[in-house]
Amino acid sequence: MKGIGSRGRALLWGSAGIAGLLGAGSLAMAQAGQTPAADRAAQVELGRTAYAKDCAACHGPELAGGQFAPDLKGPEFLARWGTRPVAELFDYMHASMPPANAGGLSEETYAALAALILEENGGTAPAALAADEVQLARVMLPAPPLQRMSGEQGVGGLSRRYPLPPGPKIPDRFANYTPVTQAMLSDPAPQNWLTWRRSHLGLGFSPLRQIDTGNVGTLRVAWAQALPPGANMNEPLVRDGVLYVFGYGDSVHAFDAADGRMLWTYKRRLPEGTALTSKKTLALFGDKVFTATSDNHLVALDARTGRPVWDVRLTDKSGFRVPGGPLAADGVVMQGLATQEAGGGLIVAFDSETGDKLWEFETVAKPGQVGGDTWNGLPGDQRKGGSQWTSGTYDPETGLALWGVAQSYDTGPLRDLKPGENNDALFTNATLAIVPRTGELKWYFQHMKNDQYDLDWVFDRVVGTIEVDGRPRRVVITGGKEGLFDAVDAATGQYIKTVDMGIQDFIERIDPETGDKFPKAEKLPGRDKGAVFVCPHGGGGRNWSPTSFNPDTRLLFVNARDVCMDMVPTADPSAPGFLTTGVNIQYAPREGHDGRFGVLQALDMESGEIVWETRRRQTPDMGILTTAGGLLFTGWMDRQFVAYDQATGKELWSTGVTGVPNASPITYAVDGKQYVAIVTGHGNPLAFGIPDVIPETQLPPVNSSALYVFALPD
């Protein structure tokens, strides 16, 4: 239910609920078509007809309460609902009533009943109510009268004969709220985690140091909250004591970050049959929280109440999904979309204040566009791939948004170069540097051309400074599934260097000037080649789990799965295969492997050396957090959340959790106390397939989801 505050549902309707409000039937709203859209009075009369037919027996003929249900007007009702938006009333009815058929009535009927209740309580709306969450959020129920309610309806209410003892003062986390600015996002206050990977730079590093290598062993659960059950890959955000997190089924929750007290919840109404996806991140800007939805919308919520401010459709094209999350910068909210349909992926942008669409960028270049002549002569409407399923980052120094783009599974038309053509397939496996306000592409760098292996480069982009040829240089660092990490100039995209984790076996040469990577001829897969063994597996290697970069030590920390693949021709010669060169991919260990498939490394991006490495039997399933306290946090498929010494890779602390920790950990502080938070709920790509390689791996039998928050003892 959108906007329900910490009072919760217990105060809404009492034990009887509003079962009688809707009854077992539904008003046939055929006559609604005869009602002008702005005719509020006619809509109220429709609601009155519906109420008399289905509700009066329980709630009384005048909405004043009956034998089986409470009143729907007057002081008692307004004590529960006064000053709250009609959107909350509508959503509660829509989600909960009738009890045996929740949501079973037409939206027009729910809207008419809400209009009636508003009218009977002395409220007004400028026009007839529509089943639109933004419009409904702007119409408020009247304030309750000042007198204290007696609670004489039945069980419940508070006696006036006995005074309550004084309780603790509950902080108002929104009392001194100020808009989130561009400067805050680029350089957050130490206590905050304002955007994906904490700041616009994508470092995944926090300057907090209260929890350190000496005391982390005493870390314990400070509070926890169950989230809607299902897949959840969300990295929470924290702003001045408020924690925002996405929940399965397209909900957003705001908690007091110190104790887990619920502040508000937004729950989206999704069209029937919508395939639900998790979202890796939310975004903050100004006074709003931005979330993408499973029905391909972008919604702006008031950060203090959870009420929707605007709601826009990302695209009218079919076949898209949004597993990543928005990036907000320069007053613009950008969102990437993934697809396997012809035409390729998209990045779209909207004004953060109004929701007006600003631009759309096609990540698969078409004929006549920049890069449009790199598809081996394939017509534009047949080009596939270029999905975008990880949030971007932003460089405030250059003013550029940095987005990663995935590969193409349609490898068949690209594998063999045709005379006179180019088969690089832009902008697959590339970094795009885009001006947020205009959508102008300032530069791009393609990390792996013509990917025939499903080893994409769509992951996090880190903006940092490293020493190059004896001088500090601002760079963008990112890696592909191969376990190769490129550094390119942040202002121009010029190639600088590549650092190799040492888990790939198919790249025989990297051009030191251009960064072009050349696969071994015998490792090129296809139906005509027989089985080809390649490391790592198309599922990674290094996969979507974000890295962490310490700007002080200039070390990059990364986890990966040291698992290889057999690229096997399809049994049916006419079948295209997982990759359309006619091959499927199967998990396989490399020869002589010791069975420790999980890898955690510290990479020196200046020297190119692996500073340290630690391995586990189980594989990682979580991003990485590093702190100024010398710690590194990450999580593994065996449901262990672990802290390491950042300097050596030594394990210092671990704890088990109920679900797979497959989002990224964060850290923040409230009232001077540091916390570490994680979200569980298996469902990212790394949670699947690996049980074939590690048979004792077990996914939780119930895909629950939860938020765990840890702190040192007081």
Confidence of residue 412 (pLDDT cuts 50, 70, 90): very high
- Residue 638 sits at the vertex; the CA angle it makes with 338 and 293, to the nearest 5 degrees, is 25
Tokens standing for residue 242: 């408020």
Say what the pLDDT of residue 101 is.
63
* Stronger pLDDT, 144 or 511, i.e. the higher one: 511
Confidence of residue 697 (pLDDT cuts 50, 70, 90): confident
256: three-class secondary structure by DSSP: strand
| 7: Cβ contacts below 8 Å, ≥ 6 apart | none
* Stronger pLDDT, 285 or 75, i.e. the higher one: 285
Say what the pLDDT of residue 40 is.
84
Residue 137 phi, psi (nearest 5): -70, -20
Angle separating helix axes 40-54 and 107-120, nearest 10 degrees: 100
Say yes or no to pLDDT of 259 above 60: yes
b/e burial code for range 369-400 (CB count within 10 A of at least 16 → b): eebeebbbebebeebbbbbbbbbbbbbbebeb
Starting from the edge strand earliest in sequence, which strands make up the sheet with 283-285, in order?
Answer: 283-285, 288-292, 297-302, 308-313
Q: pLDDT digit string (tens) for 532-573?
A: 999 999 988 999 899 999 999 999 999 999 999 999 999 998
First to last CA, the chain: 35
Say what the pLDDT of residue 102 is.
63
Instruction: Give the Cα separation of 503 and 601 in Å (integer).
Output: 11
Instruction: Give the Cα separation of 184 and 174 in Å (integer).
Output: 17
Say what the pLDDT of residue 658 is.
92
Q: What is the dihedral sign for C-alpha 115, 116, 120, 126?
A: positive
On average, the pLDDT of the chain sits at 90
Say what the pLDDT of residue 459 is.
96
Say yes or no to pLDDT of 263 above 90: yes
Q: pLDDT digit string (tens) for 117-137?
A: 888 888 888 888 888 888 888
Instruction: Give the Cα separation of 24 and 36 in Å (integer).
Output: 28
Residue linked to tokens 């394939």: 378
Tokens standing for residue 140: 């408020």
Lowest mean pLDDT among 18-27, 78-87, 124-133, 703-712: 18-27
Lowest mean pLDDT among 38-42, 159-163, 375-379: 38-42
* Stronger pLDDT, 23 or 350, i.e. the higher one: 350
Go through the domains of the chain in sequence order and give each one's CATH number.
Answer: 9-137 (1.10.760.10), 314-458 (2.40.10.480)
Average pLDDT over residues 182-208: 98
Average pLDDT over residues 163-183: 94
Say what the pLDDT of residue 125 is.
85
Say yes or no to pLDDT of 206 above 50: yes
b/e burial code for range 511-530 (CB count within 10 A of at least 16 → b): eeeebebebeeebbbbbeee
Q: Which helix (H) or strand (E) holds 252?
A: strand 251-256
- In percent, the amount of the chain with pLDDT more than 90 equals 72
Average pLDDT over residues 198-213: 98
Say what the pLDDT of residue 70 is.
81
- pTM, rounded to two decimals: 0.88
Say yes or no to pLDDT of 446 above 50: yes
Q: How far is CA 337 from CA 200, 324, 404, in A?
A: 20, 8, 12
CB 581 within 8 A of CB 532: no
The residues that bridge with 667 in the sheet, in sequence order, are 676
- 30-44, 103-117, 435-449: which has the highest mean pLDDT? 435-449
Residue 556 phi, psi (nearest 5): -105, 130
Confidence of residue 17 (pLDDT cuts 50, 70, 90): very low
User: Which of 624, 614, 617, 620 is closest to 651 using CA atoms?
Assistant: 614
Instruction: Give the Cα separation of 578 and 563 in Å (integer).
Output: 18
Instruction: Give the Cα separation of 512 and 668 in Å (integer).
Output: 40
Instruction: Give the Cα separation of 258 and 674 in Å (integer).
Output: 9
512: three-class secondary structure by DSSP: coil
Confidence of residue 144 (pLDDT cuts 50, 70, 90): confident
Confidence of residue 496 (pLDDT cuts 50, 70, 90): very high
Lowest mean pLDDT among 77-86, 395-404, 427-436, 668-677: 77-86
b/e burial code for range 173-201 (CB count within 10 A of at least 16 → b): bbeeeeebebebbbebeebbbbbbbbbbb
Instruction: Give the Cα separation of 491 and 443 in Å (integer).
Output: 8
Would you say how long the chain is, in residues? 714
User: Is residue 427 reached through a cis peptide bond, with omega within 30 degrees of 0 on the bond before it?
Assistant: yes
Say what the pLDDT of residue 18 is.
37
The residues that bridge with 533 in the sheet, in sequence order, are 566
